[in-house]
Chains A and B, each alone.
Chain A
């Protein structure tokens, strides 16, 4: 389209490119394996928050079963590698396809419903997936845990950092690009005003299902990478608890911004890791933070950034 053309291809702003560049060279200085592990955890949770935000922030549907889709991708990838002998590098793709298919079918079932009903249905889908995984112990070994082949022989964290960094980058760029495309315009229209979107010729069910399927595909892909990074899977990866953490990061980061969740992950994951006594209270603290964000700063970190940008820019460039 003629008008959006100029900025549509520049998906990443100079600032985000700079931050990503800094992040990519960070392991060259960070020697501490523990710190590297933290960075990887932040990347993994942050990219999940971005995939989550792709539905919550764009089409305004909250996927309470999100972590179940992550887990479905993780288990699919692990089982493909274990039973069919495919390479761990291809497993996550299988995970993405499986989660996308699951997302598509639950989307077709649930996304005709209005917001809150759709959210509740996604939660039930998640619970069902969780109990299925736990009870099919012949296949998944249930709560005894499934040992998953790793990507690499080495125990060093640095190579894993680059693997996960690559996936995060891919997730960010793909979601960002889709979000700013013509299809993304329809997503945001549905999220902001369903009735106007319909009157503008946007088929809400179709675009919601597309969006949900895409988000689930990335959930599955990230789950696959998580599996072959961690080396062990239990049904707990699918627990609603995990979804709540992802949701909190996405909301604190700023709905609809995508990058906000990633930034929030880099703040809160290390924070809780260092404040060990608070680790147990993590969900409580996330809950309180969520309430505070909703009351005082519904736009999250992204909104704070936008405000700062306007205030800082003002003296130099008058409009």
Chain B
């Protein structure tokens, strides 16, 4: 494990939609090179946490620091240019654009064509299926391919930190395995990942550390391997545990 200061520090974050507050006093840290998971039920505030970090929601209180910069309250397009990439849950692709155009938009903050070319080569290498379908409209892709495209688009900006929301949602088990394999490979290649997932079992296996969110508060944190043996986690999220 790399020993360095945290890449991302979230301190006492409160966030939500208009008058509906969802997150209460959420604090978490992601170190460089780590894969950290946010676990919790539907409506626990996992997606809200990611959206707030990405700048798509304005926090009500608290602080977010990324690589020595305070980023809370910055607009999403500026956060994206600071190399935080958000891969949203319900895909949010540009359906009437080609795969290639979707990917190019992922690198919109990069104004250096050479670097864009490099990212494109990397993404095509990681997802050969996308390379084959680059002229096809994103809306015509299968569920698995769309997920690949969403991930690929997120990688195009050569992020330091990848925020991934529910990458296995709605996918066939085999496809989901491919997605998790890809995430593990990206982590091995040095990418830092903050992952939100409902598939708790697999997530605990591939992530280094995890936070458990319940009703907008962090109720537990620890090394994923240890959480796997925890009673509360087993009962509530793994559907197994004590007799």
Contacts and interface: CB of A to CB of B under 8 A. Distances in A.
Nearest to A198: B76
Nearest to B55: A198
B221 interface: no
Interface in A147-201: 185-186, 188-189, 192-193, 195-201
Nearest to B103: A3
9 nearest A-B residue pairs (beta carbon): A201-B109, A198-B76, A201-B80, A196-B92, A192-B94, A201-B108, A199-B86, A203-B77, A200-B105
Contacts of A188: 94, 96-97, 101
A26 B12 CA distance: 71
A202 B54 contact: no
Given A199-B77, A199-B86, 4 more contacts: A185-B104, A198-B55, A200-B106, A200-B109
A4 interface: yes
Interface string B60-86: 000000000000000111001100011
Interface bracket on A: 20 to 34
A201 B157 contact: yes
Given A2-B113, A192-B95, A185 B120 contact: no
B201 interface: no
A1 interface: yes
21 contacts: A2-B113, A2-B116, A3-B100, A3-B104, A3-B120, A4-B101, A188-B96, A189-B97, A189-B108, A192-B97, A195-B92, A198-B75, A198-B80, A199-B85, A200-B77, A200-B109, A200-B153, A201-B81, A202-B77, A202-B105, A202-B108
Contact of B96 (A4, A192, A196): A192
B179 to A, nearest CB: 19
Contacts of A203: 75, 77
B56 A189 contact: no
Contacts, number: 82
Contacts of A2: 113, 116-117, 120
B216 interface: no
Nearest to B163: A199
Contacts of B80: 198-201
B167 interface: no
B109 A199 contact: no
B86 to A, nearest CB: 5
A1 B88 contact: no
A4 B104 contact: yes
B93 interface: yes
A2 B121 CA distance: 11
B77 A198 contact: yes
Interface of A: 1-4, 185-186, 188-189, 192-193, 195-204, 256
Given A1-B113, A3-B100, A195 B105 contact: no
Contacts of A3: 100, 104, 120, 134
A197 B97 CA distance: 13
A168 to B, nearest CB: 26
A249 to B, nearest CB: 21
Nearest to B76: A198
A1 B113 CA distance: 6
A19 B76 CA distance: 44
Interface in B228-243: none
Interface in B146-204: 153, 157
A4 B107 CA distance: 14
Nearest to B134: A3
Nearest to A2: B117
Nearest to B154: A199
Contacts of A189: 94, 97, 105, 108
Interface in B9-62: 54-56
Contacts of A193: 92-94
Contacts of B120: 2-3
Given A196-B92, A196-B93, A186 B86 contact: no
Contacts of A196: 88, 92-94, 105
Contacts of B86: 199
B130 to A, nearest CB: 12
Contacts of B94: 188-189, 192-193, 196
Nearest to B94: A192
Nearest to B150: A196
A302 to B, nearest CB: 12
B101 A199 contact: no
A256 B96 CA distance: 10
Given A196-B93, A199-B54, A201-B157, A186 B104 contact: no
Interface in B105-144: 105-106, 108-109, 113, 116-117, 120, 134
Contacts of A1: 104, 113, 116
